[in-house]
Amino acid sequence: MTVVPTLRRIVLATCLAVAPASLAAQDAAQWQRITILGELWAEVTFAHPWLTGGTTAWDAATIAALDATLRAPSDSAFSAIVGTLLATLDDPATTRLVPAAIGDATVTSAPARFAREGRIGVLQVSDPLATFDPASQAAFTQASRDSADRLVLDLRGAAPAESYGTAILNGALEPVLRSVLDTTVTGAAERRRVAYGFDNVGAFSSGQYRMALETGAAPCLTPLPRARPRELVVVLNRFSVVPPALGALQQAGRARVVVEGSAPFAAVQEHPLPDGSVARVRVADLVLPDGRSGEVVADTV
């Protein structure tokens, strides 16, 4: 659906679109910076779940960031400006990651594999799109049936996962997670902002639409027949597909989480910046049925 923004947002969007016009012929890079700034403003304004009370302060901070960008046209200065802008939201998941802070070791894309090291079973999954590879299917089956006392689930990804890869990998991991349980565990659901309603034909009207928070269905994991409770250790990096039930498993004392580099603990969207750093924006909250946060917390960094 199409959402008609308020007059204030029309003015802000116009500033973002028109401000660099006089520089376009001289500095194409400045166009890129302003475009990124506009994309960040739009994503936070319409997707960040913490802005349900209004965006006046965020709009003002974005205009200040635009002014600073026009006065300091360099990639490094722009990235610092973006970091300052995102910090105004006071959200640890919405931030700028500098290359040195990303810190993830290189992971090679390959089908999943399972191996035993003494009484420890290790399932390595680096490529969600290889989930249906016969070798991957065999590894998932072996991991869910193995008799090891501890299962290490290495989910360090080789590249960002798209929605399709995320969905099929979470489906393949479900029997593995169920194999370590002796009781039912309900995972976290995603709570996102949504807009609904109808456009208004008035030139400067907000339209007949409303913003709301929508919570999806929470995954429910039941033990497999003849499942044997085992200790679960999950290893994550920046590109990991994080199972929706992991936060609940951790809070129930059924899983420990090892974090490498900059693994996100919330649903986020990343925007590459010209200097090689990354702007990360929260687009959903993870909540348990009782209202508590279902986000994963690093046990070891």
pLDDT tens-digit readout, 25-39: 457 888 889 999 999
Every domain range in the chain assigned CATH 3.90.226:
113-266+283-287
pLDDT number for residue 207: 60
The topology (CATH level 3) of 113-266+283-287 is 2-enoyl-CoA Hydratase; Chain A, domain 1 (3.90.226)
pTM of the model: 0.75
- Listed in sequence order, the residues at least 6 apart from 64 whose beta carbon sits closer than 8 Å to its beta carbon are 85
Give percent of the chain with pLDDT exceeding 90: 43
The pLDDT, as a whole number, for residue 14 is 52
Q: Please compute the mean of the pLDDT values over residues 183-209 and round it to a whole number.
A: 75
Residue 263 has pLDDT above 60, yes or no: yes
Beta partners for residue 215, in sequence order: 191
Spatial CA neighbour of 171 closest among 215, 216, 125: 125
pLDDT tens digit string along 5-16?
Answer: 454 455 455 555
pLDDT at 37: 94
DSSP conformation letters of 21-39: GGGTTT-HHHHHHHHHHHH
Q: What is the mean pLDDT of the chain?
A: 84
Residue 22 has pLDDT above 70, yes or no: no
Which residues have CB under 8 Å from 290's CB, separation 6+? none
More reliable by pLDDT, 30 or 155? 155
% of the chain exceeding 70 in pLDDT: 84
Determine the longest span between alpha carbons in the chain, in angstroms.
Answer: 71
Distances (CA, A) of 78 to 18, 36, 44, 212: 18, 10, 18, 33
Question: Is 259:25 a contact under the CB 8 Å cutoff?
Answer: no
State the residue for tokens 């999806």. 216
Sign for the pseudo-dihedral over CA of 289, 163, 236, 104: negative
* Torsion, CA 112, CA 113, CA 114, CA 116, rounded to 10: -150
pLDDT confidence tier of residue 210, bands split at 50, 70 and 90: confident
**Contact (CB, 8 A) for 273 and 98:** no
- The answer to whether the CB of 263 falls within 8 A of the CB of 237 is yes
Amino acid, res. 215: T
Q: Residues 250-274: what's their mean pLDDT?
A: 86
DSSP 244-285: TTHHHHHHTTSEEEEE-SS--SSEEEEEE-TTS-EEEEEEEE
More confident residue, 77 or 297: 77
Supply the pLDDT for residue 103: 58
pLDDT at residue number 1? 36
Mean pLDDT of the region 45-70: 88
